Amino acid sequence: MEFFYMLFPVSGVKTYIFIPPLVAFVLSFFTSMGGVSGAFLLLPFQMSFLNFTSPAVSSTNFLFNIVAIPSGVYRYIKDGRMAWPLTMIVILGTLPGVFLGYYIRIMYLPDPRAFKMFVGLVLLYIGVRLIYEFSGRGGTAQSKALERKFDLRVSELKEAGKSAIAAGLPTEAVVKTKSVTMKSVEYEFWGETFSFSTPAMFMLALVVGVIGGTYGIGGGAIIAPFCVAVFRLPVYTVAGAALMGTFLTSIAGIIFYSLVEIKGGVRTSPDWLLGALFGAGGFAGMYLGARTQKFMPQKAIKLILGVLILYVSGSYIIQFFR
């Protein structure tokens, strides 16, 4: 086993070479179903278990996103679950926001504890709302209709003697754009019509970009649950757009961190080898997670997303009091 134990010179991490891809695979498999890359969970793992605590840990997280996310996005596109108007609005709002966030982080928020507390409280509300909808007491008529259709399809396939793993979204459950205007976007998914305000979604993406740039996260952990809990969009159609936005944000992030030198001459460039290993595991995990999503009822995905968001919220709130 000592043959597989190695030192990563840039970060100073010492671990078995199979640990990073294995951890990334497990995390990204579950998080990608909800449109979250899992990078925000890799950060505490790197800091607490691998003792990677330098500023380069953030850029290494971005590298993980860049390597891992394309497989999940490809799967959502192939299965027809990529809501392109939503994706474009997320991209247009997130990219300028992330650069503004980097500027704010350097110039005004060297220790942004108060703002992190605010973000934690917002996420707490979203997480509780997702868990509430999971209980069956919340949700819109459209989301409940999708869940009934899913349950009915499972029952029909079981009665027909087919394998339970075959139960899931049918091939006709794809995103069909109905209208795109400066005021609103409307699309159809599995016989149900969903819509959202174009300006409101753009502002959400802009704010998420600022938060992502300030704290070094991709933003999917915020925008995906917000779209589900507040805009009432089905998670099946949100995940791909959230991952695409996180991917582009991460590209901007890694460029920024690779070029910038913070006070004291400390470089923030990523550990390329460690990030690539995380990304390799994430690449496989996201592909399988995106593929498995169509076999999971929306309520189960909301539960996964809600638990993850409550974890992030709790971390932000606790850090405020430390």
pLDDT tens readout for residues 192-218: 899 999 999 999 999 888 887 776 666
Cα angle for residues 105, 106, 109 (degrees, 5° grid)? 45
Phi, psi (deg, nearest 5) at residue 303: -65, -45
Domain that holds residue 235: 2-321
Around Cβ 142, how many Cβ atoms within 10 Å?
A: 18
Report the pLDDT value the prediction gives residue 226, as an integer from 0 to 100.
85
In this predicted model, which residue has the larger pLDDT, 265 or 296? 296
64-73, 207-216, 261-270, 305-314: lowest mean pLDDT where?
A: 261-270
Q: What is the pTM of this model?
A: 0.86
CB 83 within 8 A of CB 241: yes
Please tell me the distance from the alpha carbon of residue 291 to that of residue 72, in angstroms, as a whole number: 8
Residue 116 has pLDDT above 80, yes or no: no
> How many percent of the chain have pLDDT more than 70?
88
7-11, 27-31, 46-50, 129-133: lowest mean pLDDT where?
A: 129-133
Residue 161 has pLDDT above 80, yes or no: no
In this predicted model, which residue has the larger pLDDT, 262 or 290? 290
Average pLDDT over residues 4-26: 92
Residue 141 burial (10 A CB sphere; 0-12, 13-18, 19+):
exposed
Average pLDDT over residues 252-263: 75
**Structure confidence at residue 191 as a pLDDT band (50, 70, 90):** confident
Nearest to 239 by CA among 96, 129, 125, 79: 79
Residue 267 has pLDDT above 70, yes or no: no
Count of structural domains within the chain: 1
87-91, 154-158, 197-201, 300-304: lowest mean pLDDT where?
A: 154-158
Type of residue at 222: I
Average pLDDT over residues 74-93: 94
Query: What six digits make up the tokens of 265?
Result: 């001459």
**Structure confidence at residue 287 as a pLDDT band (50, 70, 90):** very high
Residue 64 has pLDDT above 60, yes or no: yes
What is the three-class DSSP state of 6?
strand
Query: What six digits make up the tokens of 283?
Result: 């690449």
Strand-pairing partners, residue 182, are none
**H or E element that contains 85:** helix 84-107
pLDDT tens readout for residues 134-153: 776 666 677 777 777 777 77
Report the pLDDT value the prediction gives residue 309, as an integer from 0 to 100.
85
Report the pLDDT value the prediction gives residue 69, as an integer from 0 to 100.
96
End-to-end CA distance of the chain: 39
Residue 165 has pLDDT above 60, yes or no: no
Hey, which bits of the chain come out as E strands? Answer: 5-8, 13-16, 175-180, 184-189, 192-197, 261-262, 266-267
